[in-house]
Amino acid sequence: MGIFKAYDIRGIYGEDLDAELARKIGRAYARFAGVKKVVVGRDCRPHSEPLFAGLAKGLCEAGCDVIDIGLASTPMTYFANGTLGADGSVMITASHNPAEWNGFKLCRAGAVPISGATGIKDIERMVAENDLGAPAAVPGKIAKTDILPQYAAHVRSFAHLARPVHAALDFANGMGICEAESFKGTDFTYDSLFGEFDGRFPNHEANPLHAETLRDLQEKVRSGEYDFGVSFDGDADRAGFVDEKGGIVPMDFITALVAKDLLASNPGATVFYDLRSSKVVAETISAAGGKPMMSRVGHAFIKAQMRENDAIFAGELSGHYYFKANFTAESSSMAVFALANIVSRAGKPLSELVAPLRKYSQSGEINTKVSGDPADVLRRVKATFEGKADRVFELDGVSVEFKDWWCNVRMSNTEPLVRLNLEADTRELMEDRRDELLALIRA
């Protein structure tokens, strides 16, 4: 069943999943995780309602009580999980995927994610084999809870602005609208784009990773006096940023800026960055007195590594920003406040804060569709550089490091794609090595 992915359950509503399958997933999740009280939130897609009804029915059949927090961002669901004494949580969303998609993000208590390796594959088997167990003698109940005021107050406590900050926020008609409740009553003000719930996403894709998604925001920022702009994805667990000129700020640079700021009050603390990030991120963390640690891609892996190493913060190239203060989970509005804090104290605009970080030349992520086994490509890359590079390692795919350039080649978790990220000290060297690696990958 192709909807059971590495990090969540996701497919096209009406084709891959429906309310009845949601019921079975609820039963299987309850049985597998042994949960008795579960937080359930949902995004604003029209089919999130029937999926909630099916999922809640399955959970109740298993004897599990449902805490229904209604329309919510994914960070709100994590927060509710951690604060309401729940045994787990489910967020009904397909994140940045198009409107016809939907799915489920599953967690244990304390917002600890369930991934393919830690339970999703088991739940897939249970659903496929109808191994759902007998219904409980006493079914569970559904109770509604409004977690937004408590979540907003929690995030608001993270604001420490030295002066008022004004931004442009593109909600993409998604769940960032909930996150914005956190900004009320502070010196952070904003003008909004597409600030009405519409799970059809009629204005543009809700994915800040794609440059074309940011065009409306860039135009808005350039038309007024803004400190920066923010673009939320569909379930608001990711955020992309543009500077006061409308220039796109790479997400790993946001990681570096936020890490430096947090380390000022947490000297010596550990900060994680994903292995696709510019090496300027690790340099910045070290210079700020922190301990930089590299993580593999994917929220389940990053959160596990953060907990194991008591890290205060982590950033991912996809725009996920993880805070120890938020149950080691994402909060896009906390990331917004973190940047607003920095800008308010800096005495210079965001573009000037970012400029020193543009030290190296990056290829960006380049995807190659392969006809054979993608693992063969990784073996070929490893064999080519082993014994020649300063370092070759396999934290996630194959990474190769030389003094003046590095690359990472990894497989997609969902498609027959090989992904290349490469960085070098100069643009000429980056282009030369990029072309060599692509020739090797596509041989």
Catalytic residue (one of 73, 89, 95, 333):
95
- DSSP-based helix, strand, coil % in the chain, nearest 5: 40, 25, 40
DSSP secondary structure of 103-171: EEEEEEGGGPBP-IIIIIHHHHHHHHTT---PPPSS---EEE---HHHHHHHHHTT---SS-EEEEEE-
Closest CA to 51 of 98, 23, 19, 16: 19
Distance CA 213, CA 172 (A): 9
Residues 6 or more apart in contact with residue 290 via CB below 8 angstroms:
259, 263, 266, 267, 268, 269, 270, 271
First-last CA distance in the chain: 31
CB 38 within 8 A of CB 89: yes
Beta-bridge mates of residue 167: 190, 228
Question: What's the CA dihedral at 374, 379, 380, 381 to 10 degrees?
Answer: 90
Distance CA 201, CA 177 (A): 13
Residues 6 or more apart in contact with residue 14 via CB below 8 angstroms:
47, 100
89 noted as active-site residue? no
CB 174 within 8 A of CB 232: yes
Residue type, 415: E
Residue type, 120: I
CB 73 within 8 A of CB 121: no
CB atoms within 10 A of CB 68: 16
Residues marked as catalytic: 95
